[in-house]
Amino acid sequence: MSNPAPEKRLVLRMLDLWRKARKDAPLPHASDITVADVGADAGHVYLIDVLDPAGPRYLYVGSALQTPGSPGSGTLVADGSDETVLTLTSRHWREIVERHVPVTRGGIGRHAGRSVLYRSIMMPLADASGRITTLMGAVNWRALEEQHGTAAE
Amino acid sequence: MAPPPSKGSGGSTRTYEIQRYSGGRWMLDSVADDKEMAVAVAKSLTSGSRAASSVRVMAVQQFDDGQFSEVTVYRSTPIDDHNAEAVVRKLKVEDEVKAFREQRDFERKHKDDPPPAPKPRKKGRFADFILALQLAFGIGLTITAIQMLRIVMH
């Protein structure tokens, strides 16, 4: 019997990973999913510690998300630049903490100086008591063709 | 990658809640800002080893004044699947009944008609050849018989 075709969409791959880690619990334990589990998608993944006294802070930022001007590991989410998909997507961290479910978002934004169409997901991870401690996010994007206005003839 | 979600008009935001039926009630599974993605997530819930039997996607419109409305934009339950199969079966039966009725009406309409005249047999070249052969053989046989009779007479 052949294996099913791998899911093409990053968001659904991440969601599948999160569901498998959750098993029958409402939320997966923070130690149940690591960056190593993400495999080839690790470059597009980030982790946020939502319990840091100074505010949500990046624990890990994948290599594909590290561009000049983008926040790195250890940076506060609030300090990120709007010109990166990392900041665009992670600024909604509060919604995931409040709703206790994964949230996927997409849209048009700026990344590395270009207009991009992005799609992201953030998923809650909890400690033994069920309290959300970490958010795992993932985002991919593609550059949009720059629209050059031309005078109507 | 799907295009960005459309925003609701009149100072509102729209989200799509993916819900699964568990323990006798609908549970929020995840949230998306795009309908296509929400439906894809809902469908992914119905596959795999821990597949949910019933899922649905609710479009939730939240207005600035605190009001909200929600409407089901996708649903997949065993009953829906059963109904879909029933519709297919019903259509198939209807087609069969229609074909049967058409055949029956045709037969009733032409019941009193005289039977169609048998079509004349087409004679091909081979049949003509066989006929010519038979004639030649018959003539030869007749001539031979006459010769033998003349010999006997002498």
For B:9-28, CB contacts with A below 8 A are 28
pLDDT exceeds 60 at position A25: yes
Residue B4 is predicted with a pLDDT of 46
Q: Is A122 among the domain residues?
A: yes
Which of the residues B26, B28, B33, B55 would you substitute to probe the A interface, choosing the one with the greatest number of A C-beta atoms within 10 Å? Answer: B33
B30 at A interface, C-beta within 8 A: yes
Q: Is A91 among the domain residues?
A: yes
The percentage of chain A sitting over the pLDDT mark of 70, rounded to a whole number, equals 90
Confidence of residue A151 (pLDDT cuts 50, 70, 90): very low
pLDDT (tens digit per residue) in A90-123:
999 999 999 999 999 999 999 988 999 999 999 9
Q: Is A100 among the domain residues?
A: yes
Q: What 3-state class would DSSP assign to A111?
A: strand
Domain range list for chain B: 12-76, 78-111
Domain that holds residue A71: 10-30+41-143
Residue A76 is predicted with a pLDDT of 93
Which of the residues B37, B39, B46, B55 would you substitute to probe the A interface, choosing the one with the greatest number of A C-beta atoms within 10 Å? Answer: B37
Per-residue pLDDT averaged across B68-76, rounded? 92
The answer to whether B34 contacts A108, with C-beta atoms less than 8 Å apart, is no
pLDDT (tens digit per residue) in A66-93:
987 778 888 999 988 878 999 999 999 9
Partners of A117 on chain B (C-beta within 8 Å) are: 1, 3-4
* Predicted complex ipTM exceeds 0.90: no
The answer to whether B4 contacts A101, with C-beta atoms less than 8 Å apart, is no
Cβ-based neighbours of B48, under 8 Å, separated by 6 or more = A16, A19
Partners of B40 on chain A (C-beta within 8 Å) are: 9, 12
Q: Is A17 among the domain residues?
A: yes
The lowest-confidence range among A144-153, B5-14, B64-73 is A144-153
pLDDT exceeds 60 at position A28: yes
Identify which of B103, B34, B32 has the alpha carbon closest to the alpha carbon of residue A123: B32
Distance (Å) from the alpha carbon of A6 to chain B's nearest alpha carbon: 12
In chain A, the N- to C-terminal Cα span, in Å, equals 61
Per-residue pLDDT averaged across B26-49, rounded? 91
The answer to whether B34 contacts A9, with C-beta atoms less than 8 Å apart, is no
Distance (Å) from the alpha carbon of A94 to chain B's nearest alpha carbon: 13
Q: What angle do CA A63, A65, A66 make, to 5 degrees?
A: 65
Residue A13 is predicted with a pLDDT of 94
The answer to whether A104 contacts B41, with C-beta atoms less than 8 Å apart, is yes
Residue B42 is predicted with a pLDDT of 94
pTM of the prediction? Answer: 0.69
Q: Is A153 among the domain residues?
A: no
Number of CB atoms found within 10 A of residue B126's CB: 8
What's the CA gap between A38 and A62, in Å, rounded? Answer: 11
Residue B123 is predicted with a pLDDT of 62
User: A with B: how many residue pairs have Cβ under 8 Å apart?
Assistant: 57
More confident residue, B47 or B61: B61
Number of CB atoms found within 10 A of residue B32's CB: 27
Q: Is A148 among the domain residues?
A: no
The answer to whether A102 contacts B30, with C-beta atoms less than 8 Å apart, is yes
pLDDT (tens digit per residue) in B89-122:
889 999 999 999 999 888 888 877 777 777 666 6
β pairing state of A103-111 and A114-126: antiparallel
Confidence of residue B12 (pLDDT cuts 50, 70, 90): confident
For B:43-72, CB contacts with A below 8 A are 44, 48, 50
Q: Is A36 among the domain residues?
A: no
Residue B37 is predicted with a pLDDT of 94
Q: Is A150 among the domain residues?
A: no
Instruction: Give A83-101 as a 3 state SS string.
Output: CCHHHHHHCCHHHHHHHCC
Domain count, chain A: 1
Partners of B5 on chain A (C-beta within 8 Å) are: 106-107
Confidence of residue B35 (pLDDT cuts 50, 70, 90): very high
Per-residue pLDDT averaged across B37-44, rounded? 93
Confidence of residue B30 (pLDDT cuts 50, 70, 90): very high
Residue A141 is predicted with a pLDDT of 95
Distance (Å) from the alpha carbon of B1 to chain A's nearest alpha carbon: 7
CATH number at residue A77: 3.30.450.20
The lowest-confidence range among A136-145, B40-49, B51-60 is B40-49
